[in-house]
Amino acid sequence: MRDLKTITLDDARRVIAAAEHRAEAIGSPSNVAVVDVGGSLVAHIRMDDAQLGSIEHSIDKAFTSAFYRAATVDLAPDTRPDGQFWGMALSNHGRVLVFAGGVPLTDRDGTIVGAVGVSGGTQHQDATVADAAASALRTIDA
Amino acid sequence: MRDLKTITLDDARRVIAAAEHRAEAIGSPSNVAVVDVGGSLVAHIRMDDAQLGSIEHSIDKAFTSAFYRAATVDLAPDTRPDGQFWGMALSNHGRVLVFAGGVPLTDRDGTIVGAVGVSGGTQHQDATVADAAASALRTIDA
Amino acid sequence: MRDLKTITLDDARRVIAAAEHRAEAIGSPSNVAVVDVGGSLVAHIRMDDAQLGSIEHSIDKAFTSAFYRAATVDLAPDTRPDGQFWGMALSNHGRVLVFAGGVPLTDRDGTIVGAVGVSGGTQHQDATVADAAASALRTIDA
Amino acid sequence: MRDLKTITLDDARRVIAAAEHRAEAIGSPSNVAVVDVGGSLVAHIRMDDAQLGSIEHSIDKAFTSAFYRAATVDLAPDTRPDGQFWGMALSNHGRVLVFAGGVPLTDRDGTIVGAVGVSGGTQHQDATVADAAASALRTIDA
């Protein structure tokens, strides 16, 4: 047997707080979702002016990032029609999303312990907010 | 045109805090989801020891309660095989859940402004937590 | 080859007008959907205070009634766990609904030319509104 | 709490009437769907010669436009394989459509209060009809 290191709800709240802080700073009302190491939702928030269409995006980005242990934006090239994983974006019952805003959460040693998904802005805005969120976790003693 | 009154993220957080408080008091680790007046997710949390199978339950209960303006437990009798709404639990693409834990959120005048869904315990525990959550909102000045 | 007699959009609007008239008279804000002889949607309306959860119900009831050439309420007994069609409510990709409110639309000779689905009230209210809607069509010269 | 401004059924009917008027003028039998600010259907019509495959398109375009606060045609470039939102058209359980014909509905101040979706013709025809529909709403005193 073995231990899976994963985030707690407290961790998820710190990640979300960091995301909100950055989203407000750059004026990009966002949905933010945090999943555990198994890809299951731990927490989600929709900021008051974030678009409804981004609710599922945030959850799907976090899921995708945890399931493939990668930033969602890094999956885009391989999943295009000419890429080696063409069709992947249709897999897993439509829960895979391959554009910017999903980022693995790691502890200070680089071990993946979950993922965060941010959606509501441009790809640059979503990535910026997600990176801020992920950074917050790495500064926590755990 | 007309105005629809709905909850903010701040409201949702108060509802969730009240739910967590009660869930801890009765020892029932829960998922808690809050949706707006249109049934769209505003916030969700999974307490650390809550079961994974209740994530969607909490969201679906909140959705059901907002979409049918009723406590989910009150929908159960009518949706049983001998009830007037037999089959309803299969409608809306599987998002309807008719067991205890979903409750409309109302303002102090009784206007429905969203819903909360709680899942993870027995029907009695889930209903107790959901009622505590909904009560918290009614005490807010709005 | 042969001709399929089916309703027009004008017919559907008369059916809906009759439904609204009755729904207002009995104080049951409703969703009303009309499908053609092939079960495809011709028109839908949601009255201002009708619940969101009934949008799909109205469309599904009309679809069910056209596809099975029966009032939806008459399908309930056979589709219960002890009925001869147990499981039918799960068929056709979840579009079958077997509680009151779906009624075939017929011309004056009794030929089925479409169906109407009403949802939002009790089974008695929905059936009353649907029957008024269907009656309106039979009085039209066609 | 906060107020969300949204359309009524009367508003939706004016939008649909304007769409039909334009669709007849340009000879493009159409499906027209109107959703509220939360993306839920308020009304739909299928003109007598409109194709069946466009029923869902009209509803999905309206949904997409409300959920992403944008004309559907403006989403196309970003959602192509080389766009920043590649894969978005597969999200939200297949309800996202990114070709012309979905337009937000706004009041005279520019506040989004719903959306209209038109489908049945070329992208130019659908966009023309949708724009006529949306313009009708902006001339209403509200």
Please indicate, yes or no, if residue D85 is contained in any of the structural domains: yes
D44–C43 C-beta distance less than 8 A? yes
Q: What is the pTM of this model?
A: 0.96
pLDDT of residue D85: 93
Token pair for A99: 């554009």
C123–B91 C-beta distance less than 8 A? no
Please indicate, yes or no, if residue D77 is contained in any of the structural domains: yes
- Distance, CA of C68 to chain centre: 12
Within 10 angstroms of residue B10's Cβ, the number of other Cβ atoms is: 13
CATH number at residue D45: 3.30.450.150
Q: Which of A42, A5, A3 is nearest to A133 (CA)?
A: A42
pLDDT for residue C62 is more than 80: yes
| pLDDT average, residue stretch A20-46 | 98
pLDDT of residue D90: 87
Exposed / middle / buried, residue B69 (Cβ in 10 Å: 0-12, 13-18, 19+): middle
The ipTM (two decimal places) reads 0.95
Q: What is the pLDDT of residues D27-73, one digit of tens each?
A: 999 999 999 999 999 999 999 999 999 999 999 999 999 999 999 99
Residues of B in contact with C99 (CB under 8 A): 84-88
Name the closest residue on chain B to residue C48, using Cα atoms: B2
Within 10 angstroms of residue D108's Cβ, the number of other Cβ atoms is: 11
| pLDDT average, residue stretch C110-124 | 97
Please indicate, yes or no, if residue B89 is contained in any of the structural domains: yes
Phi, psi dihedrals of residue D118, rounded to the nearest 5°: -125, 135
Beta carbons of C133 and C19 less than 8 angstroms apart: yes
Task: Name C115's Cβ contacts closer than 8 Å, sequence gap at least 6.
Answer: C34, C35, C39, C61, C62, C63, C64, C65, C66, C102, C103, C104, C105
B92–C99 C-beta distance less than 8 A? no
Task: Name A68's Cβ contacts closer than 8 Å, sequence gap at least 6.
Answer: A75
Give the residue numbers in A contacting B (CB under 8 Å), as ranges: 8-9, 12, 38, 40-48, 52, 55
Q: Is A71 helix (H, G, I), strand (E, B) or coil?
A: coil
Our CA dihedral for A60, A63, A64, A65, rounded to 10 degrees, sits at: 120
Distance CA B114, CA B112 (A): 6
Q: What is the total count of domains within chain A? A: 1
Please indicate, yes or no, if residue D21 is contained in any of the structural domains: yes
Residues of D in contact with A123 (CB under 8 A): 84-85
Query: C with A: 3 or more CB pairs under 8 Å?
Result: no
Confidence band of B138 (pLDDT split at 50, 70, 90)? confident
| pLDDT average, residue stretch A98-122 | 96
Please indicate, yes or no, if residue A2 is contained in any of the structural domains: no
**Which structural domain, as residue segments, surrounds residue B68?**
9-138
pLDDT of residue D139: 77
pLDDT of residue C141: 54
Identity of the residue in C8, C40, C52 whose CB atom sits nearest the CB atom of D48: C8
Distance CA A101, CA C138 (A): 57
C38–D43 C-beta distance less than 8 A? no
Task: State how far residue D10 is from chain C, nearest Cα, in angstroms.
Answer: 9
Q: What is the pLDDT of residues A84-108, one digit of tens each?
A: 999 888 899 889 999 999 999 999 9
Please indicate, yes or no, if residue A4 is contained in any of the structural domains: no
Phi, psi dihedrals of residue B139, rounded to the nearest 5°: -90, -5
Identity of the residue in D81, D87, D92 whose CB atom sits nearest the CB atom of A56: D92
Beta carbons of D114 and D39 less than 8 angstroms apart: no
Exposure string for C82-102, b = 16+ CB within 10 A, e = fewer: eeeeeebbeeeeebbbbbbbb
Name the closest residue on chain A to residue B39, using Cα atoms: A52
The angle at the Cα of B47, spanning B43 to B50, to the nearest 5 degrees, equals: 115
Please provide the distance, in angstroms rounded to a whole number, between the alpha carbons at the two ends of chain B.
Answer: 22
Task: State how far residue D86 is from chain C, nearest Cα, in angstroms.
Answer: 28
Helices (H) and strands (E) in chain D, counts: 4, 5
B88–C90 C-beta distance less than 8 A? no
Q: What is the pLDDT of residues C73-101, one digit of tens each?
A: 999 999 999 999 998 888 998 899 999 99
pLDDT for residue B142 is more than 60: no
Residues of D in contact with B7 (CB under 8 A): 1
Beta carbons of B98 and B64 less than 8 angstroms apart: yes
pLDDT of residue B141: 54
Distance CA C16, CA C36 (A): 13
Please indicate, yes or no, if residue D3 is contained in any of the structural domains: no
Please indicate, yes or no, if residue C73 is contained in any of the structural domains: yes
D113–B142 C-beta distance less than 8 A? no
Higher pLDDT, B64 or C140: B64
